[in-house]
Amino acid sequence: MSRPPWPSGRYRRASGIRMAWMDEKPGRLRIERGGGRPGLEIGPRSLALLDLFGAGRDVAEALHELVPRDAPGTEIDAWLAACLRLVEAGLLLPAGPPAGPAGRTDPFPGIEEWNYHFRMVTDRRRVRAYRRAIETAVEPGMTVLEIGTGTGILAVMAARAGARVHAVERADVIEMARRTIREAGVEDRVTLHHADSRRLSLSPGADLLLAEMVGNRILNEDLLEVTHDAFRRLLAPGAAAIPRAISILAYPVMFEAPARYREVLAEVEAETGVGLRSLLRWMERRLEAGGLIVETDAHAPGFRLLGEASELARVDLRALDAPRFEARTHLGIREAGELSGVLLAFELDLADGVSLDNRPGSPPTHWKNPLFPVPRPFPVSPGDEVAVEARYRPGSDLELGVAEPPGAV
């Protein structure tokens, strides 16, 4: 029998496809293609092909990866048939030229992406804490859903703890996760999904959600939106989570630099002759609305904490009614000074006995701390209480307002 021709060139998986387990045939998947077209039943070969072609790649190269060199002809024929069927069904589409220098999709399309992931992978406190949490909370046989796998480091840890892992990543870094997972020898236990988690379907739901989605402005990586969606659609009832909760801590602070922004802008205007009033007006409007955030290094000199941390909000990620909250607290002043801003830090409750924070006094991490300058710095004395209100709305950043002068709320 002559072999069907292997399609040549680069192909990629069609976008917007959804997969669902078939109730009537346990262990088989159906692809939902939308547009009124009938669903397509697929088996493990098609699934592996769709996974591998998440980003554009060469079919010959993919064949080499999937099929051992000494595989019998019938095995190769089966892969060819699966591939052709996906091409004919419009699920694998011809792809454009390679994005990366090595003829494959480059996992880091810009050096910024590499920097972002390199800083995370080499943040030893972060990696150690997540590893301990995974070893504590993941039990052999569990299904773990990791959202935002990045380079794949946490997915490998979960697989090594005995879990079956679904690792989701929307960016091209998924290609690096694929290599990390293969290098670790756990590719049989990790299924990669090149997708935004909010467009994924998973059935049955996973037993544990694993996510490291905390940003330099704490909630700016959509932790609440993604977690809320996962608990509604992608997890089994009563599923566990790493992290289980996030606390947002607020500190009264005094500092020089951003508080002097009016003078600094005036100096730059005088020196350059370029008027910066429009920039100043924009900043003042944002300041008044509580939405001017400076990503700052709380370990840098020049900051004076005027009091201890107050818990502004504690969000139980397993019981989110909605990806939003409003919170208020009082900052206790311990030292006399001028209140020029409120610094925030986070603490993640990862598992029993395992937490991770970026408090100013803790050993450093790669995270910055969001700092909200107050529009009009004012003097404070020990014993004062300053009322602070914050809110978070989906798709935006934390907003924070300070009542001034102290006690006037």
Ligand X SMILES: C[S@@+](CC[C@H](N)C(=O)[O-])C[C@H]1O[C@@H](n2cnc3c(N)ncnc32)[C@H](O)[C@@H]1O
Q: What is the nearest approach in angstroms of ligand X to the Cβ of residue 383?
A: 40
Closest of 83, 67, 87 to residue 75, by C-alpha: 67
CB 204 → ligand X: shortest distance, Å? 20
Nearer to ligand X, 171 or 350 (CB): 171
134 alpha carbon, distance to own chain's centre:
17
Least distance (Å) between residue 323 CB and ligand X: 12
Q: For helices 261-272 and 277-288, what crossing angle results, to 10°? A: 170
Shortest distance in whole angstroms from residue 293 CB to ligand X: 18
Of 196 and 338, the one with the shorter C-beta distance to ligand X is 196
Least Å distance, CB 177 to ligand X, is: 8
Q: What is the rounded distance in angstroms from the CA atom of residue 407 to the CA atom of residue 148?
A: 43
With CB atoms as reference, the residue minimizing the distance to ligand X is 148
User: Which of helix, strand or coil describes residue 276?
Assistant: coil
Which is nearest to 380 in space by CA: 334, 344, 342?
334
d(CA 276, CA 278): 6
Give min distance, CB of 260 to ligand X, in A: 33
Task: Report the C-alpha gap between 341 and 303 in whole angstroms.
Answer: 10
How many CA atoms lie less than 13 Å away from 372 in the CB half-sphere?
Answer: 25
Of 45 and 126, the one with the shorter C-beta distance to ligand X is: 126
Of 198 and 314, the one with the shorter C-beta distance to ligand X is 198
Going from the C-alpha of 6 to that of each of 85, 189, 214, 251, the distances in angstroms are: 11, 28, 44, 63
- Which residue lies nearer to ligand X by CB, 154 or 235? 154
Q: Residue 337's Cα: distance from chain center in Å?
A: 38
Q: How far is the CB of 135 from ligand X (least distance, A)?
A: 15
**Least distance CB 75 / ligand X (angstroms):** 33
What does the binding site for ligand X look like in residue numbers (CB under 6 A)? 120-121, 147-151, 153-154, 168-171, 173, 196-198, 212-213, 221-222, 226
CA–CA dist 401, 333 (Å, integer): 17
373-401 residues labelled b (16+ CB within 10 A) or e (exposed):
bbbebeebeeebbbbbbbbbeeeeebbbb
Sheet containing strand 92-94, edge to edge, reads 57-58, 10-13, 92-94
Length of the chain measured in residues: 409
Q: Given the complex with ligand X, which of 212 and 385 has the nearer CB atom?
A: 212
Q: Which is nearer to ligand X, 329 or 369 (CB)?
A: 369
In the complex, minimum distance from the CB of residue 210 to ligand X, in angstroms, rounded to a whole number:
8
Q: Residue holding tokens 């566990």?
A: 240
**Nearest to ligand X of 245, 279 (CB atom):** 245
Nearer of residues 148 and 252 to ligand X, judged by Cβ: 148
Nearer Cβ to ligand X, position 54 or 252?
54
Element (H, E) at 21: strand 18-21
Q: Which of 284, 289, 285 is nearest to 258 (CA)?
A: 284
Tokens at 200, concatenated = 């994924």
Quick one: tokens of 325? 């909250």
Matching residue, tokens 């060199």: 69
Q: How far is the CB of 341 from ligand X (least distance, A)?
A: 25
Nearest to 146 by CA among 215, 239, 232, 242: 242
Nearer to ligand X, 230 or 292 (CB): 230
**Residue 123 beta carbon to ligand X: minimum distance, rounded to whole angstroms:** 9
